[in-house]
Amino acid sequence: MSWDPRSAVLDDSGQVTAVVVVSVAGLFLAAGLVIDGGLALAGKVRAADTAQEAARAACQEVDLEHLRAHDRMRLKPGEATAAAHARVAAVSDSADVTVLDDQAQVAVTHVQPTQVLSLVGIDTLTTTASATAHIQRGAATEWDDDGAAAP
């Protein structure tokens, strides 16, 4: 048997299969980045919305006795923290809440399950967002010298 160089050059059986497999894997990875990246971006927006809502909910817990006694606004730390955590728990996220005098700061962590990237071992994408809210007196409320709302 003699070796024919033309047959060695022309025999490329199986080469197309390797190219197709690599190309399809690349397309799945690109689709995963687009789909799961979009879901992660939506999760980031959701986390930001939730953080803002939770901070505002915390700022509803004003210490009225302190306001009447000292004419200064501050939050009730325990109640404000509980209100923020309740708002975040309603959407199944987790949060760190900090209450300082007249402000509430909420950092929300949202875990987004992946749809396509889980095929390559990436099961979740985690996003975080934070928001701070301050309490203020109502612009339309007039206060007398004793710190009580005028009729």
**Domain limits of the chain?**
12-134
pLDDT digits (tens, 9 = 90+) for 2-12: 666 555 555 56
What is the chain's mean pLDDT, rounded? 87
The span from the CA of 93 to the CA of 87, in Å, is 9
This prediction has a pTM of 0.75
Radius of gyration over alpha carbons of the chain, in Å?
29
The span from the CA of 132 to the CA of 52, in Å, is 7
The DSSP H or E segment spanning 131 is: strand 124-134
Q: Which two tokens stand for residue 63?
A: 């210490």
Angle between helices 15-58 and 77-89 (to 10 degrees): 150
